[in-house]
Structure 1
Amino acid sequence: MKLEGKKALITGGNSGIGLATAQLFIQEGAQVAITGRDQKTLDEAAKLLGPKATAYRADVADSAARKDLFAKIKQDFGHLDIVFANAGIAGQTTTGKTDEAIFENIIRINLTGAFFTVEEALPILKDGSSVIFNGSIIGSLGQPGYAAYAASKAGLRGLSRSMAADLAPRGIRVNVVAPGPIKTPIWTRNTRTSEENDALSKRIASTIPLGRLGEADELAKAVLFLASDDSSYVNAVEFFVDGGAVGTPFGGPAFRG
């Protein structure tokens, strides 16, 4: 098993990509701490994951909550070998129509919260550990109406490269996994009907070279690679898991003659 004896923290591990990654990490031998803000989904995730997982209700963008979280993790785990800073939110911030508080909240959670999650983890993060940030192709491609989200994900790319330099003397690798459209519960957390969601998914899939949306477990496998010794010489990279959307943005079925 690739993570036998390892101890990992996954923020936002109560659903979607975080939960799929927690499941895979446990299958590969890790002991996993997950966080989330919703107690109901945390309890459900903890039940699904079993005894090798510990769930903590915490808001990673709240400094007091982070300090309390890492005090508990230190008590329960002793140390960490892996941090997957996965927690984040989307949200529309259309140029010319955006409230400043909404913009700042997205940056605070996705960028500031991610940085200080790792900052708080450092005292218990072992030398030779792996840090992974969850980015997005939107940080490279952009998307109408999502300026703050795009800025936060592009910011993670720059942040990770500086952090990789800072932590290299300890042998701690820092990388970003950048997913394209992935099928997670977020697709149904909106005001659209199921038919409208299906139509949107098909439209987006038509722009992806592989012609489909990704699965959460496909992204989890990429995170596992970056977390494990399989990537022992991989550092300061942005790893796109997007069906080719960034590499060949006009390669999807919608663009073929």
Structure 2
Amino acid sequence: MNPFSFRKRITVPSFAVMTGGTGGIGCEIAGLLLEQGWDVLLLTRQPRKAEEQISGSKGRFEAVFCDLTEPSDLQTVSNAIRDRNQPIELLIHCAGKIQPEATRDITQHSLEEQMAINLTSPILMTSQLLPALSPNGHVMFVNSIAGVMPLQGSSVYSATKFGLRGFARSLALEFSPGTLRVSSIFLAAVDTRMLEQETRDGGSVLNFVNQPLSARYVARMIIRTSEGAGREIFLPRIDGIFAHACLVMPWLLHITTPLLEKVGQIGLRRFLKHKAAASVVAHKE
């Protein structure tokens, strides 16, 4: 039995399936797609919250409960989506989980949760939904600079993101040019609740070497990327250049980290000051 139902249509609009829609980036992506007239189906553990946050005047939005850490949930929802018989033009893996912790403090729970949300569920869901994807559809993985450059203090998160890059690149090789497109978007820090929580949990100050990107800007870049050929993009671009340089020359990260941490501390203080001021204004309103 389907966990959700769909109304039949005579005219079938473009159809997008997405995870991670209750975070800042996901909300913005869904809103932009809806304004363009897309049908958007969000898989989330908080469907009611998603419906309160996301709306659009042109497209149709549905939020369906799905726990990405439960393979049985993924299979059930994937079966229901395939039963709809509406080609998926856009599959966006936007959900993410980070738990900053030293390697000696890693627990089985944090390991399994980050692995499931960041790596296992995108792999399983992509595999299960391939039969439902349009021949010229686009699979998009919202990744992190931590998938190119090791992130001290968040080794599990970095490992999952490195793995996600490998999967996306391997997936792209299975399809001829002009058919299914595969893209990965590698993000530096983005001004979202996830970043705030990561900071409270002791996340890396390197997040604040540059000013965190706005979720709206990132969402627009993701939508723009979805309209073209499959590729990898890095936001900001300079972070991607530096991360690749560190892969080729591992010593570069070691010698630059002390300076980057000092710059990051300044950026963190600026970020916290800005958030405090915004909170005061919001409270007065």
1:246 is the counterpart of 2:254: no
Number of equivalenced pairs: 237
> CA offsets per residue over residues 193-250 of structure 1, 9 Å max, x none?
9xx99xx98x843x22xxx21011111122112221xx13xx3x32111363232477
1:221 is the counterpart of 2:220: yes
Q: Indicate the RMSD between aligned Cα atoms, in angstroms.
A: 3.0
1:167 is the counterpart of 2:161: no
Comparing 162-171 with 19-28, greater Cα deviation is found at 162-171
CA distance in 2, matches of 1:96, 1:170: 46
For the 8 Å contact 2:22–2:49, the answer to whether it is kept is yes
Comparing 116-125 with 169-178, greater Cα deviation is found at 169-178
CA distance in 2, matches of 1:164, 1:122: 12
The sequence identity of aligned pairs, in percent, is 22
For the 8 Å contact 2:69–2:113, the answer to whether it is kept is no
* Cα distance change, pair 76–184 in 1 and its aligned pair in 2 (3 A): farther
In the TM superposition, what are the counterparts of 1:106-145 in structure 2 within 5 Å? 106-145=114-153
2:27 to 19, 22, 32: 19
Matched AA of 2:111: F
Matched AA of 1:242: P
1:45 to 44, 48, 53: 53
> CA offsets per residue over residues 83-112 of structure 1, 9 Å max, x none?
001112111242222123422321122111
> CA offsets per residue over residues 52-93 of structure 1, 9 Å max, x none?
111111122322211221233345572211100111211124
SS of the residue 2:184 aligns to = strand
For the 8 Å contact 1:86–1:133, the answer to whether it is kept is yes
For the 8 Å contact 2:48–2:63, the answer to whether it is kept is no
The TM-score normalised by the length of structure 2 is: 0.73
In the TM superposition, what are the counterparts of 1:183-198 in structure 2 within 5 Å? 183-189=191-197, 192=200
> CA offsets per residue over residues 101-152 of structure 1, 9 Å max, x none?
4223211221111111111111211101100001100112222211110011
> CA offsets per residue over residues 158-204 of structure 1, 9 Å max, x none?
111110112337810111011110011223446949xx99xx98x84
CA distance in 1, matches of 2:194, 2:109: 22
**Residue 158 of structure 1 aligns with which residue?**
166
For the 8 Å contact 1:180–1:243, the answer to whether it is kept is no
1:149 to 157, 170, 187: 157
Structure 2 residue ranges without an equivalent (≥5): 1-11, 244-255, 265-285
**Residue 88 of structure 2 aligns with which residue?**
80
**Residue 57 of structure 1 aligns with which residue?**
65
CA distance in 2, matches of 1:247, 1:170: 28
Matched AA of 1:240: F
Q: Larger radius of gyration, structure 1 or 2? A: 2
